[in-house]
Amino acid sequence: MQQPSEKITKFLIVFIIGIIIIKGLSGAGFLEAKSHKGKGYYVRIPEGWSKVKKRKDIIYPQGVEIVQFIPKGIDLKTEEPGATISIYSKKLAAPIWIEDEFPNIVRSLREEGFEVKDKGDIKINKQIGAWIVYFDHKTPKLNLEFYMVSDNGMFYKIQYSADPDKFSTYRYAIEELKASFQFKFSL
């Protein structure tokens, strides 16, 4: 019969080995998240992309949840990604219709000096939305954005931003993410 101290020692050894195995699998990418659950929505992370940890040196707008994805293999400490996908969500104080607000969004982008290339309407997960493609001369990036307001008063912006020469290369990722977008709550 084993002494209690022997049982504890064996348990601790098995526990430590388990932790080492889990860390190894995680470091090798086997345990990476395949999806993201945000404020009122769910998306699958595009194949070949990973979620970026929230940076502590950036001040985020109050009440806005932001999540960002980048192509795997990019070290943000040493290089800028050629493309990013971000999702912004915010609970609105009062209900709005995206059809009414979208012209104001387009006007604001033009007033900020962005070159609007194209725009239109879209349905994402059966929800009416709008989209716009514009060029930001300051960064210089080409941006594709989708805007939606859910039944329960949540505002969403999905933004794909890429170097102009990489825009087509990574376009599959925003289409994959957009196709997986699901609202978690609805009236």
- Domain of 79, CATH number, reads 3.40.1000.10
Same domain? 175 vs 124 = yes
Mark out the alpha helices in 60-186 (DSSP H runs). Answer: 98-111, 167-180
Same domain? 39 vs 27 = no
- Domain count along the chain: 2
pLDDT of residue 97: 93
pLDDT of residue 152: 85
**What's the whole-number average pLDDT of the chain?**
88
Among 3-7, 50-54, 65-69, 157-161, the range scoring the smallest mean pLDDT is 3-7
Same domain? 78 vs 143 = yes
pLDDT of residue 106: 97
Q: Which two tokens stand for residue 173?
A: 């990722």
**Cα→Cα distances 143→16, 39, 73, 134, 169, Å:** 46, 23, 22, 5, 14
How far is it, in rounded angstroms, from Cα 127 to Cα 147?
Answer: 10
Collapsed DSSP state (helix, strand, coil) of residue 169: helix
pLDDT of residue 186: 46
Q: Which two tokens stand for residue 143?
A: 């941006």
Same domain? 56 vs 12 = no
The yes-or-no verdict on residue 27 having pLDDT over 70 is no
* Structural domain that includes position 159: 33-183
| pTM of structure | 0.79
The yes-or-no verdict on residue 49 having pLDDT over 50 is yes
Same domain? 18 vs 64 = no
Angle at 103 between CA 171 and CA 126, to 5 degrees: 55
The yes-or-no verdict on residue 187 having pLDDT over 50 is no
Same domain? 92 vs 160 = yes
First to last CA, the chain: 61
How far is it, in rounded angstroms, from Cα 53 to Cα 146?
Answer: 23
Same domain? 19 vs 88 = no
